[in-house]
Amino acid sequence: MSSLATSVKPGRDAEIKIAPGPILLLGAPGVGKGTQSKELVKIWDIPQVSTGDLLRANVDQGTPLGKVAREIMARGELVPDSLVNDMVAVRLSAPDTVRGYILDGFPRTLGQACWLDARLSAQPEALSVVAVSIQVNYNQLLRRITGRRICPVSQTIYNIYVNPPRREGVCDLDGAALVQRADDTEEVFKERIRAYAALTAPVVEHYRTLGRFAEVDGDRPIAVIASGIVAAVEGLRKT
C-alpha cells in the first residue's frame, strides 16, 4: 500500500483515487457496521474483515476456536484478545487485503487496537488504521437488533420493522427461511451494549487521540451514510 494513486473499480466512484488502507468501522451493536461494510466493499473493492462473521464460521465448523467462542458469544461477552488477534492475523495475511480492508467489529478492545497498530507499524508499506464511528441512538438500536433477520443463504439482512421481506420470514432473493441471530435478543443486546461501552469506548478515545478518528450520523439512508464514511476516510488520509 505504498501508493495513494490506486484507482477503484472502473465506472464507479472514479473520483476516489486513494488506496483506502485499513478502515475501522466503530459503533455500538446494531449501528449498521455490517451493512456499511458491504457498501464500502462495493465502492472500494476491498474485503470486509468481520471478526463476528469469522468467529461464527468457526463456531459452525466446530473448530477448537469455535468451541471456546460459542458460549462466550452466546452470553454477549468478548472472546479473549489473543484468540481473536491470531484469527485476524491469518485473515490479514491473505493477498486480497493489500489495498486495504474494512475492519468490522475489530479492534474492540484497547489491547486489540494496540496489537493491530504495532503489527501495521512493523510493515513499512502499510497505511495506518483510520477509524470511523457510526452514531445511532439507543432506542433505534434496540429496534434494529431485535428486528434483525438474516438469510442464511444470501446473507441478506432484513428488519421486520423497517425493511421487512415481501413474505414474512422468507428471503426475497432465494426463498430461504430467515433466521434470527442467537445474540439478537433484548437481554443479550443489553450485555453487548455494556461490553461496548466498557471495552470499546477506549478504542474510540485511542484513535481520537491519534487524530485518526471521525464520526458519522448513522440515522440516514444507507447510501448517504456510506458517502459520509468515504468523505471522512478521504479527509483523514489527507491529514
Is 149 an active-site residue?
Answer: no
Q: Which one among 19, 23, 84, 232 touches ligand AMP, defined by CB under 6 A?
A: 84
Three-class DSSP category at 213 = strand
The residue number with the shortest CB distance to ligand AMP is 52
Residues 206-225, interacting with ligand AMP (CB under 6 A): none
Binding string, residues 24-53; x marks residues near ligand AMP by CB under 6 A: -----x---------------------xx-
CA 238 to chain centroid, in Å, comes to 23
Q: Which one among 108, 144, 148, 206 touches ligand AMP, defined by CB under 6 A?
A: 108
Please choose, out of 2-10, 12-20, 93-101, 106-114, the segment that lies near ligand AMP by the rule CB under 6 A: 106-114
Residue 78 within binding range of ligand AMP, rule CB under 6 A: yes
Q: Which residues pair with 148 in a beta bridge?
A: 159
Q: Nearest approach, Cβ of 3 to ligand AMP (angstroms)?
A: 29
Residue 114 within binding range of ligand AMP, rule CB under 6 A: no
Q: Residue 235 and residue 51: Cα distance in Å, rounded?
A: 26
Q: Which residue, 52 or 228, has its beta carbon nearer to ligand AMP?
A: 52
Give the side-chain half-sphere CA count within 13 A for 87: 26
Q: Nearest approach, Cβ of 149 to ligand AMP (angstroms)?
A: 15
Give the side-chain half-sphere CA count within 13 A for 88: 28
Q: Residue 136 and residue 219: Cα distance in Å, rounded?
A: 6
Q: Which one among 106, 158, 189, 207 touches ligand AMP, defined by CB under 6 A?
A: 106
Residue 74: C-alpha distances to residues 1, 153, 183, 190, 234 (Å): 37, 22, 6, 13, 37
Count other C-beta atoms under 10 Å from residue 129's C-beta.
Answer: 21
CA-angle at 90, arms to 89 and 92, nearest 5°: 65
List of residues contacting ligand AMP (CB under 6 A): 29, 51-52, 55, 72-73, 76-79, 84, 105-106, 108, 112, 183, 192
